[in-house]
Amino acid sequence: MSVKTRFAPSPTGYLHVGGARTALFSWLYAKKNNGTFVLRIEDTDLERSTQASVDAILEGMAWLDLDYDEGPFYQTHRFDRYKEIIQQLLDQGDAYYCYCSKEELDSLREQQMADKEKPRYNGKCREHSEDKAELNRVIRFRNPEEGEVVIDDLVKGKIVVANKELDDLIIARTDGTPTYNLTVVVDDMDMGITHVVRGDDHVNNTPRQINILKALGAELPHYAHLPMILGSDGARLSKRHGAVSVMQYRDEGYLPEALLNYLVRLGWSHGDQEIFSRAEMIELFELSQVNVSASAFNTEKLLWLNHQYIMNSEPELVAKHLEWHMQQRGIDVATQGPALVELVKAQRERCKTLVEMADASLYFYQDFTEYDEKAAKKNFKSDTVEALQALLNAFNALTEWQGEVLHEAVLQTAEDLELKLGKVAQPLRVAVCGTAMSPSIDVTLSLLGREKTLKRLERAINHIKEKNS
Ligand code: GLU
């Protein structure tokens, strides 16, 4: 049977890195086995689910380029089917109406706690089969009382749970709406899911889900429960550890490839290899090699990986993502400055994130309003005017605007003025970039172009003259 996996987020917030790792592992396993990957939106909790969260999840999946073969399916579109299955379970005697009031259940729980027993439903309504629709009632699954459930978890190994540990689960609420465990089971069955890959916060639900699947005569999927992700302090990863939303990583200048590479290594390894292309991940990934213990999120390592990807990816790919950051800064790269691919080549060694790269490249596209104070103080002296003027003349005389020629012109000017190269190149850099940090001067000037360079040289000359007058 061909492999079919699914990612089944509840749209109650953004796509967080834990969810993204679950999606990735599920996606990888499907891809590796030439299988099918399904996206299912579990939106039956009408109070907590929002369209904004659905959009955020879809946006996150698209940004990570985790493409799905089927879906997105929405559970809210499938209420009729859940009703049908609940009715089937009632007809089969595998479910029953429960009329116990909240007060009754609360006092049962209190009594059990006082007796140091595990709180669980006592099965009081098991034997009343009549349907008194006028009364408030839920529907419970009749869990087997004997025997045990065995899960051969692909990550955690064998898990055995005795049926007497499990009470009769509510599958429909008083308003008739189905609960999570029921909808998941129906969907996994109807969609022919062969491998359920999900966070281990669901491991307690699995024996209950297996019992319902058995009652429905469904084939059981394999299960793989992924250990959770911790923050640097060992507590469960949360907002207080920094960014946890996938899209926040985009906003902070990470490449999706870097984040995916980071996530694949969270709980999975292949020797001591750190960098995996998508193709390698698909080829090498094995659910059976996923760590049993939780892994800690390490922001420093993610940053290192991001820089590796910025430096070593095709510049076209980096440029595509950088363009988004430039647009955020109001820059139209097509009309305002150099080709982004060239910019990436010039900046990638020095920038660990695309935010750093965008911020350090604005002067190529738009005039800066002020000179960096320290850089100007150090490099703009009254005698700098002469050097800048000489450069202006030399550049004006050039018939070609190209790295080598520009480099030559700067060298020649320094020589003519009997100045060290730095005494000419640094003021020039501050004059055209506004700061003392830029790629090498020939690359900077050729990216900047003739027009901007000449204009900014003139502006700097006037600025220094004015300051010293
Ligand atoms: N909707 C569940 C969640 O977001 C996942 C259910 C599952 O994977 O079975 O936690």
Give the tens place of pLDDT for each residue, 434-454. Answer: 999 999 999 999 999 999 999
DSSP class of residue 436 equals: S
Residue 207: cis peptide before it, omega within 30 degrees of 0: no
Q: Is the CB of 16 under 6 A from ligand 1?
A: no
Query: If you count DSSP H runs as helices and E runs as strands, how many of each does the chain have, helices first?
Result: 20, 12
Q: Single out the residue of 364, 324, 359 nearest to residue 343, CA to CA.
A: 364
Q: Which atom of ligand 1 is nearest to the CA of 205?
A: 9
Report in angstroms the alpha-carbon separations of 225 from 39, 156, 228, 305, 439: 18, 7, 9, 26, 48
Mean pLDDT of the chain: 95
Backbone angles phi, psi at 157, to 5 degrees: 85, -155
Q: Which atom of ligand 1 is nearest to the CA of 9?
A: 4
The alpha helices in 364-418, defined as continuous H runs, are: 373-379, 384-396, 403-416
Q: Which atom of ligand 1 is nearest to the CA of 12?
A: 4
In this predicted model, what pLDDT tens digit does every residue of 240-277 receive, in sequence order?
887 789 999 999 999 999 999 999 999 999 999 999 99
Residue 130 has what pLDDT? 73
Cα 367–371–376 angle (5° rounding)?
145
Q: Distance (Å, rounded) from C-alpha 20 to C-alpha 17?
A: 5
Classify 332 as helix, strand or coil: coil
Residue 129 has what pLDDT? 65
Residue 348 near residue 315, CB atoms below 8 Å = yes
In this predicted model, what pLDDT tens digit does every residue of 312-346 receive, in sequence order?
999 999 999 999 999 999 999 999 999 999 999 99
User: 257: CA distance to ligand 1 center in Å?
Assistant: 25
Q: Single out the residue of 203, 215, 205 nearest to residue 96, CA to CA.
A: 215
Chain centroid to CA 362: how far? 27
User: 248: CA distance to ligand 1 center in Å?
Assistant: 22
Q: Which residues pair with 245 in a beta bridge?
A: 16
Res. 381: pLDDT tops 80: yes
The alpha helices in 298-402, defined as continuous H runs, are: 299-312, 315-328, 333-336, 340-347, 354-359, 373-379, 384-396
Residue 13 has what pLDDT? 92
Classify 465 as helix, strand or coil: helix
- Please give the average per-residue pLDDT across 124-131, as a whole number: 81
Q: Is the CB of 10 under 6 A from ligand 1?
A: yes
In this predicted model, what pLDDT tens digit does every residue of 186-197 receive, in sequence order?
999 999 999 999
Q: Is the CB of 60 under 6 A from ligand 1?
A: no
Q: Could you give the dihedral angle defined by the CA atoms of residues 25, 31, 33 and 34, in that order, rounded to the nearest 10 degrees? A: 160
Q: Distance (Å, rounded) from C-alpha 23 to C-alpha 420?
A: 57
Sorted by where each starts, the structural domains of the chain and their CATH numbers stand as 79-226 (3.40.50.620), 246-312 (1.10.1160.10), 314-363 (1.10.8), 367-469 (1.10.10.350)
In this predicted model, what pLDDT tens digit does every residue of 223-240 receive, in sequence order?
999 999 999 888 888 888
C-alpha neighbours within 13 Å on the C-beta side of residue 109 = 8
Q: Is the CB of 9 under 6 A from ligand 1?
A: yes
Question: Known catalytic residues?
Answer: 239
Q: Is the CB of 198 under 6 A from ligand 1?
A: yes
